Amino acid sequence: VIELKRDANPNVILNLLFKHTKMQDTFGVIMLALVDNEPKVLNLKEVLTHYIAFQKEVVTRRTIFELNKAEARAHILEGLRIAMDHIDEVIHMIRSSKKDEAGLSQDLCDAFGLSMIQAKAILAMQLRRLSGLERDKIENEYQQLLLTIEDLKDILANHDRVLQIIRDDLTEIDQKY
């Protein structure tokens, strides 16, 4: 609270406070940015437009990466599910095989319709883990991955979901800082 004399003008005093103290401060900003590999000075609206476009690209790329990773894991889990259906035959083939890993992988592919990636994942597991795998654990992980894949595909197909993710990220940054 600042008390003034009767004859003092409050607007003049306020302006002097702004000028000579840190109550009000100004600073200049040059918003220079690379747009299409060319330096440009942008106004606030253009900066925000380019930032949002960049964030859309980031969210899209991140979603594609997570989708590819989830699909690869689901592919391996499908192979493990097939191996679990024919567990005795798979273990017998592995134990009785005199071939190297590549030949054994090919035999598994031919016998059960597996891909090379699935066969190598089965061969990479220890026999005791392969025979001791919990079917429910594989099924639950597989079902969760299918839901995740559907969600990621929905994000890629729905522009509003991408914007909502950007909004949530910015809200999280705002709360953090």
pLDDT at position 133, please? 62
Residue with the two structure tokens 């991408």: 162
Handedness of CA 116, 118, 124, 130 (dihedral sign): negative
pLDDT at 126 over 90: no
End-to-end CA distance of the chain: 31
* Whole-prediction pTM: 0.75
C-alpha count within 13 angstroms, C-beta hemisphere, residue 61: 6
Backbone angles phi, psi at 37, to 5 degrees: 60, 25
pLDDT digits (tens, 9 = 90+) for 106-120: 888 988 899 999 988
pLDDT at 49 over 80: yes
pLDDT band at 96 (very low <50, low <70, confident <90, very high): confident
pLDDT at 172 over 80: yes
Q: Give 129 or 71, the one with higher predicted confidence.
A: 71
pLDDT at position 60, please? 97
